[in-house]
Amino acid sequence: MSDVTELEAPGGSIGVYTRPKANTGWRDWITTVDHKKIGILYGATAMFFFVIGGIEALLIRLQLATPDGTVLGAETYNRVFTMHGVTMVFLVIMPLAAAFANYLLPLQIGARDVAFPRMNALSFWVFLAGGLFLNMSWIVGDAPDGGWFAYAPNTGMIFSPGKGMDYYAIGLQITGIASLVSAMNLIVTVLNMRAPGMTLFKMPVFTWMILVVQFLLLFAVPVITVALFLLLFDRNFGANFFNPEMGADPLLWQHLFWIFGHPEVYILILPSFGIISEVIPTFSRKPLFGYPFMVFSGIAIGFMGWGVWAHHMFVSGIGPISVAAFSVSTMFIAVPTGVKILNWLATMWGGRIRFNTPMLFASGVVSMFTIGGLSGVTHSVAPADTQQTDTYYIVAHFHYVIFGGALLGIFAGFYFWWPKVFGHLLDEKWGKWNFWLMIVGFNMTFGPMHILGLQGMSRRIASYSPGFGFEFWNMFASIGAFIIALGVAVFLINVIISARRARTAPPVGLDPWDARGPEWFTPNPTPVHNFDSEIQIDSLDEFWHRKYGEDEDGRVVRVATAEEVCQDGSATDIHLPSPSYWPVVLAAGLPFIGFGLMYTLWFCVLGGALVLMGIYGWIFEPVDDPDGPHGHGHHADEPTEDVPPEDSVDDEPLETAEEAPVG
Amino acid sequence: MADTAAVSHGHGTGTGLSDNKLLMWVFLGSECLLFGGLISTYLIYRSRFADGPAPGDIFDIPFTSVSSFVLLMSSLTMVLALSALQRGDIRNNRIWLLTTALLGSLFIGGQVYEFTTFVREGLGYTTSPFSSAFFTLTGFHGVHVSLGILMLMSLLISSLRGTLTKERSETVEIVGLYWHFVDVVWIFIFTVIYLVPSPTS
Amino acid sequence: MSLRRSLSPGRLVALTAGGLLALTGCAADAPLDTLEPQGPISRSIDSLSDPIFLIAGIVFVIIFGATAIIWWKFRDDHSTDEFPHQLHGHFRAEIGWTIGPAVLMAVIAVFTLLSHFELNSEDRTDIVVAVDGERTPWDPEILVVGQQWWWEFRYYFDGLDGLDLSDARHLPPADIVAANQLVIPTGSEIGLKITSRDVIHSYWIPALNGKRDAVPGRVAPWKIEAEKPGVYFGQCTEFCGLSHSRMRMQTVAMDPADFQLWVDQQMQPAVEPIGAAALRGREIFEGQCARCHVVNGINDGGGADLVSNAAPNLTHIMSRTTFAGGIFDLYEADGSLNRTQLEAWLRNAPAEKPAYAEGRRGMPAMGLSEGQIDDVVAYLQTLGTAPAMDVIAATEVD
């Protein structure tokens, strides 16, 4: 059904700002404010950057496969590893989590969209702008080379002349805006827009983890914003924030960066924890073991994550008392994380486990993250860390938690929710090849790095010399990296093959996995309006409890078919937020402002004009369909010129007066 | 069969706050960390004044106190603007909005005067870590105040066009939240920078 | 069928992990190995980390074992359609596995703190050193200064207390200024004060101790101690830019008697060169190299035409076994000069080790002719006495 897009704004509107009408084609995608499409945009864009970051990884591994490698010169190597880190953290894992959060959050809380749909679109376009801006640095031949952590004073003007670190700082400021805006949007959405009956403790675990992540983003992004501003001011205006010659302390950068950076790693992992908390119960055919503990441990990790940042600085000279404090706090953050691992195992225990591809990936997370978590505990021991830090042992640790933990969880999510998003399953056989290639390649690449690190191989070295014992495992790791690449290629092939086959195959139908969460109430793929009518939530796993009850002996019995429980998506006349041009316009202005700061102020003028146009267009564009049902979150993002007519239904947008089922 | 949830008209929000108001509160939460980072930086660098003026040498506490009082009063007028609109008193709403904007501008004027004086007295942006931290912190605050003034002027224009009605008083309330926040941050800054005894050279 | 395959991740990883752990032990020819401590300090770290690795390994085996069992035992073998018992949780178990790990962490924390405060304590005793013939008690603390992309070591036999070390680019004149190799006597705790002249570096000799960052504007206390004479290898371990991978150092530990001999040698001024080539070489040095490098008696402490304001002091370069930031052997295995590499370095240093010549960081290409290079080598050969053969041999890594 096409959106209703009549655009006669009462009270008069400025004619040029009529809302766009397209609902197919590229114009649809550019102006969409539909959280589902935005989720898909995030996912596709992030996978594009994943390929770029993966190529950067392969270049690193080619260079390090042999001693005194000559594939990349030292300068280029420093750029490649910097961009690999920046890309994977900011342009891949974070937006992949955003993809799932955007698509699923409204569905999991029974809402029609997020609180501020245009802001949602803005977040995506700003993220894209930031990602393109960062990678422009390659095109102009001056990619940043200071590491993703960009320690001062190496990143100041004296030691990093040229524009690379400006691309870094400005690019991350832009992506930071995207994250911050999205965090505010999703927090309001979850706190305000849950379906009737859905108290916080009936929310799915994925939603909970995303909520915690948004609070982490809300408070962590401003801190790196400050750090990046200080760096930019040092580099471009002669400020003295990191200039030791004038009495500044280079450690200020580290503190600011890691106060952001440590919560950031929980931002990276918690979404994946949320995903597998949905997948494992489904495929074990049991509820998640210990829901309250899972929620509270996620919250605990969110809180405790603020108190451990200086474990990244154990050898920086902060003094033994500080080191002692952070060593102890870091040890204790292992506790809530361990609880989660054990709860996932306890979920599987006593279950009837189907090892479909989503479950393979989810199980992979549990195992691989355990390894990463255990090596993390060894780092927390400060004296031991004086040997481990800045070596490949650390590289092993964080790849186990980020790749083995976050990325594998995201792949679990791909396979699990693909039918919900696209209406067909990803092929199981290709899926299994995808999984095995990735997990074998991954362990081949990063397992040996534990050894390399303990044998003294430093991080961030463009090459190593023969005679230090590093040759064998580096070659082994490099081979593993190409196996990972093969696994990723298999995934992309799977996507294409499954889409092709779906054209002629029967539709996937309702509830293909016999799942538990509220998002499965809707047919597959999700209709554009999400729910035909509002869901009343009486319990956690409401969807499951409508399908299954218990007999006298306490055994689980099916009480309703999927057709009976699910909606059929046939509702018409449900009003949706209208599309808008202005998020794209606003987002487009930001990189121009960035270029202006680096090259010529005329770009700033252009960028500023686009931003202002975007803001004013946004504020003054006509209300979407004033005759449609107004309701919750509807007028949230523009001041209306009019008061809603008395006869409009002022409630949740999922029903019109005519449609409300009675009784 | 479709879900048989009861229709609930006037379904409120989960928190009881409107989306817009909750959004502003959430945004202000993030702003706390922004200013927290800048204030922490200042605290670390207040005694690192290289060869330039030290904070104790250069601050003019009486002047800045007056300026702070002006900003504080603007919060009062903001409250008056809101309550006027909530009563339906459009005229006084406009007066108090304008007054708030003027007081805010007076504060900014005071900042500009103070900064130019400092520069003349040898405290430039690049003089020392202290100077960079000072100007950055107060500069960010000043930008926030200025954006607030722009918002107030937008409200005023909206009022003059007749579209800022009593039913839309929440918009004024939300701008008021922002304005009060900016004022509270200034209380912190004023205390931390000016009132706490500063190093002298 | 798929069941067996689904088991193999657990097995595969367990095997791999076990294999990795085993292979870790048999690391031959690993001069930077952290698991083979060669001094009391690194040994105390190792005695803490070994049991913790073991605990981690045990937890790993338990978790993976449990995982493998669960995957096998509770796989869906399609023998039934019944749903398993829908257990929602078990409060006691969860409290148990919250408190249990917390207690374990607390125990680890106690041992960690004990080891940590000891690691950060100082327990030096004075060493008697003969300086200019006079025996002086020396509180053995050496100033370690990092810069792009080499290490300097400054010895002050009157001790570091009371010296103004706040500006690393203008340090007080030292009794001995060495580069690339920190020479220490065995059997004594040697204090280190670590700083930097430009960006952050990190000083690390894994066999003897953990690492400590060299931060410009700060002086960080650390320590080092060797039990046996030998050459202990190091690598800069904080990313410091272009040639971070080529910034290395060694600690050379000597018997106290040999250390005294070394001190005597280092305190000598440069020998007057004999031979036309060496004299020409000195002229070239004074005209070009002396812009940065120091030879005592020629251009002491005038600073260098570099951002860091320092280049290695070459007065006794021949007494070292590495050069160019500790990355090239100065001597062949038979004790002869590594002439090829030294000439290559003089011919075009950036080709051997990347540098930013225009940015005044690192050694630039000097544009010397072949004849000039020969002369400079001849001159350099007069600067210092060759070290003992066992030190030369111990420096060879491959």
Indicate the SS3 state at residue C203.
strand
Instruction: Yes or no: say if A463 and A64 are a contact pair by the CB < 8 Å rule.
Output: yes
Q: How far apart are CA B190 and CA B61, in angstroms?
A: 9
* Rg for chain A, CA atoms, rounded: 25
Whether B28 shows a pLDDT value over 50: the answer reads yes
Q: Which one of C83, C95, C341 would you mutate to disrupt binding with A, by most A Cβ within 10 Å of its Cβ?
A: C83
In-domain check, residue B165 = yes
Average pLDDT over residues A602-617: 95
Q: How far apart are CA A621 and CA A629, in angstroms?
A: 18
Two structure tokens written together for A614: 């975007």
Two structure tokens written together for A576: 């949706």
Is C49 within 8 Å of A316 when comparing Cβ atoms? Answer: no
pLDDT recorded at residue A18: 66
Q: E strand or H helix at B101, and its extent?
A: helix B90-120
The predicted-structure confidence for A139-170, as pLDDT tens digits, reads as follows 999 999 999 999 999 999 999 999 999 999 99
Q: Chain A within 8 Å of B187 (Cβ-Cβ)?
A: no
Is C34 within 8 Å of A353 when comparing Cβ atoms? Answer: no
Is A227 within 8 Å of B29 when comparing Cβ atoms? Answer: no
User: Which of A291, A331, A458 is opposite residue C237, by nearest beta carbon?
Assistant: A458
C-alpha distances out from residue A514 to A358, A543, A618, Å: 13, 10, 42
Residue C89: its chain A contacts at CB < 8 A? 289-293
User: Which of B2, B9, B158 is opposite residue A661, by nearest beta carbon?
Assistant: B2
pLDDT recorded at residue A554: 84
Question: Parallel, antiparallel, or unpaired: how do β-strands C190-196 and C141-147 relate?
Answer: parallel
Is A387 within 8 Å of C23 when comparing Cβ atoms? Answer: no
Write down the architecture of domain A34-250 according to CATH.
Up-down Bundle (1.20)
**Interface pTM (ipTM) of the complex?**
0.94
pLDDT recorded at residue A585: 96
User: Which of C98, C206, C243 is opposite residue A456, by nearest beta carbon?
Assistant: C206
Is C90 within 8 Å of A555 when comparing Cβ atoms? Answer: no
Residue C306: its chain A contacts at CB < 8 A? none
Instruction: Yes or no: say if A176 and A225 are a contact pair by the CB < 8 Å rule.
Output: yes
Domain that holds residue B119: 21-195
Instruction: Yes or no: say if A356 and C18 are a contact pair by the CB < 8 Å rule.
Output: no
CB pairs under 8 A between A and B: 161
User: Which of A247, A285, A454 is opposite residue C34, by nearest beta carbon?
Assistant: A454
Q: How far apart are CA C88 and CA A40, in angstroms?
A: 33
In-domain check, residue B13 = no
Q: Give the torsion through C-alpha atoms of A19, A21, A26, A29, to 10 deg.
A: 60
Two structure tokens written together for A42: 């995030």
HSE (side-chain half, CA atoms, 13 Å) at C214: 30
C-alpha distances out from residue A482 to A50, A53, A59, A398, C13, Å: 14, 13, 10, 19, 19
Q: Give the neighbours of chain C: at least 3 Cβ pairs within 8 Å.
A: A
Instruction: Yes or no: say if A40 and A34 are a contact pair by the CB < 8 Å rule.
Output: no
In-domain check, residue B8 = no
Q: How far apart are CA A278 and CA A258, in angstroms?
A: 31
User: Which of A78, A381, A548 is opposite residue C242, by nearest beta carbon?
Assistant: A78
Across chain A, what does the average pLDDT equal? 91
The residues facing C128 across adjacent strands are: C137
Give the residue on A whose Cα is nearest the Cα of B43.
Answer: A252
Instruction: Yes or no: say if C291 and C264 are a contact pair by the CB < 8 Å rule.
Output: no
Amino acid (1-letter code) at residue A381: V
Q: How far is CA C303 from the centre of its chain?
A: 25
Strands ordered across the beta sheet of C230-235: C181-185, C248-254, C230-235
Where does CATH 1.20.210.10 sit in chain A? 34-250, 276-480+491-505
Q: What's B160's domain CATH number?
A: 1.20.120.80
Instruction: Yes or no: say if A580 and A118 are a contact pair by the CB < 8 Å rule.
Output: yes
Two structure tokens written together for A256: 């600011």
DSSP helix, strand, coil percent of chain C (3-state; round to 5): 40, 20, 45
Residue C24: its chain A contacts at CB < 8 A? 450-451, 454-455
Q: How far apart are CA B142 and CA B53, in angstroms?
A: 22
Indicate the SS3 state at residue A365.
helix
In-domain check, residue B90 = yes
Q: Chain A within 8 Å of B30 (Cβ-Cβ)?
A: yes
The predicted-structure confidence for B106-151, as pLDDT tens digits, reads as follows 999 999 999 999 999 999 999 999 999 999 999 999 999 999 999 9
Average pLDDT over residues A427-444: 98
DSSP letter assigned to residue A405: I
Q: Of C387, C40, C38, which is closest to residue C181 (Cα–Cα)?
A: C387
Cα of first residue to Cα of last residue in chain B, in angstroms, is 80
Query: Percent of chain A scored above 90 by pLDDT?
Result: 86
Is B7 within 8 Å of A660 when comparing Cβ atoms? Answer: yes
Q: Please indicate whether chains C and B are in contact, defined as at least 3 beta carbon pairs under 8 Å.
A: no
Number of domains in chain B: 1
User: Which of B20, B32, B41 is opposite residue A252, by nearest beta carbon?
Assistant: B41
Residue A240: its chain B contacts at CB < 8 A? 50, 126-129, 131-132
User: Which of C10, C29, C112 is opposite residue A383, by nearest beta carbon?
Assistant: C112
Q: How confident is the model at residue A574 (pLDDT cuts 50, 70, 90)?
A: confident
The predicted-structure confidence for A234-257, as pLDDT tens digits, reads as follows 999 999 999 999 999 999 999 999
Residue A384, min C-alpha distance to chain C (Å): 6
Q: How far apart are CA A40 and CA B33, in angstroms?
A: 31
pLDDT recorded at residue A341: 97
Q: Chain A within 8 Å of B48 (Cβ-Cβ)?
A: yes
The predicted-structure confidence for A35-70, as pLDDT tens digits, reads as follows 999 999 999 999 999 999 999 999 999 999 999 999
CB pairs under 8 A between A and C: 324
Is A221 within 8 Å of B9 when comparing Cβ atoms? Answer: no
In-domain check, residue B201 = no
Q: Chain A within 8 Å of C307 (Cβ-Cβ)?
A: yes
CB interface of A with C, residues 158-217, below 8 Å: 158-161
Residue B158: its chain A contacts at CB < 8 A? 639
Q: Is the dihedral of CA A230, A235, A236, A238 positive or negative?
A: positive
Instruction: Yes or no: say if A3 and A27 are a contact pair by the CB < 8 Å rule.
Output: no
User: Which of B10, B127, B168 is opposite residue A651, by nearest beta carbon?
Assistant: B10
Q: How far apart are CA C108 and CA A163, in angstroms?
A: 46
Whether A653 shows a pLDDT value over 50: the answer reads no
Q: How far apart are CA A142 and CA A280, in angstroms?
A: 45
Instruction: Yes or no: say if A364 and A431 are a contact pair by the CB < 8 Å rule.
Output: no
Q: Chain A within 8 Å of B162 (Cβ-Cβ)?
A: no
**pTM of the predicted model as reported, rounded to 2 decimal places:** 0.93
Q: How far apart are CA C277 and CA A585, in angstroms?
A: 72
pLDDT recorded at residue A17: 57
Whether A650 shows a pLDDT value over 50: the answer reads no
Whether A530 shows a pLDDT value over 60: the answer reads yes
Q: Which one of C4, C59, C211 would you mutate to disrupt binding with A, by most A Cβ within 10 Å of its Cβ?
A: C211
pLDDT recorded at residue A255: 98
Q: How far apart are CA A133 and CA A224, in angstroms?
A: 18
Residue A548, min C-alpha distance to chain C (Å): 10
> For residue C109, how many other CB atoms are within 10 A of its CB?
20
Is B41 within 8 Å of A241 when comparing Cβ atoms? Answer: yes
CB interface of C with A, residues 81-120, below 8 Å: 82-90, 93-94, 97-98, 101-102, 105, 108-109, 112-113, 115-117, 119-120
Q: Chain A within 8 Å of C122 (Cβ-Cβ)?
A: no
Q: How far apart are CA B25 and CA B170, in angstroms?
A: 13
The predicted-structure confidence for A317-342, as pLDDT tens digits, reads as follows 999 999 999 999 999 999 999 999 99
Whether A640 shows a pLDDT value over 80: the answer reads no
Whether A657 shows a pLDDT value over 50: the answer reads no
User: Which of A146, A345, A462 is opposite residue C70, by nearest beta carbon?
Assistant: A345
Instruction: Yes or no: say if A305 and A333 are a contact pair by the CB < 8 Å rule.
Output: yes
Q: How confident is the model at residue A629 (pLDDT cuts 50, 70, 90)?
A: very low
Regions of chain C with pLDDT less than 50: 1-11, 13-14, 24-28
Is A469 within 8 Å of C27 when comparing Cβ atoms? Answer: yes
Residue C250: its chain A contacts at CB < 8 A? none
> For residue A505, how many other CB atoms are within 10 A of its CB?
11
The predicted-structure confidence for B190-201, as pLDDT tens digits, reads as follows 999 999 999 998
Is C215 within 8 Å of A285 when comparing Cβ atoms? Answer: no
In-domain check, residue B74 = yes
In the CATH scheme, what is the homologous superfamily, with its name and number, of domain A276-480+491-505?
A: Cytochrome c oxidase-like, subunit I domain (1.20.210.10)
Q: Chain A within 8 Å of B171 (Cβ-Cβ)?
A: yes
pLDDT recorded at residue A356: 97
The angle formed by the CA atoms of residues C298, C303 and C308, to the nearest 5 degrees, is 140
Average pLDDT over residues A288-292: 97
CB within 8 Å of A520: residues ≥ 6 apart: A420, A510, A511, A513, A543, A566
Q: How far apart are CA A250 and CA C220, in angstroms?
A: 13
The beta-carbon contacts of B96-102 under 8 Å, at least 24 apart in sequence, are: B97/B152, B97/B155, B97/B156, B97/B159, B97/B172, B98/B156, B99/B74, B100/B74, B100/B152, B100/B179, B101/B149, B101/B152, B101/B153, B101/B156
Instruction: Yes or no: say if A34 and A65 are a contact pair by the CB < 8 Å rule.
Output: no
Q: How confident is the model at residue A4 (pLDDT cuts 50, 70, 90)?
A: very low
pLDDT recorded at residue C232: 97
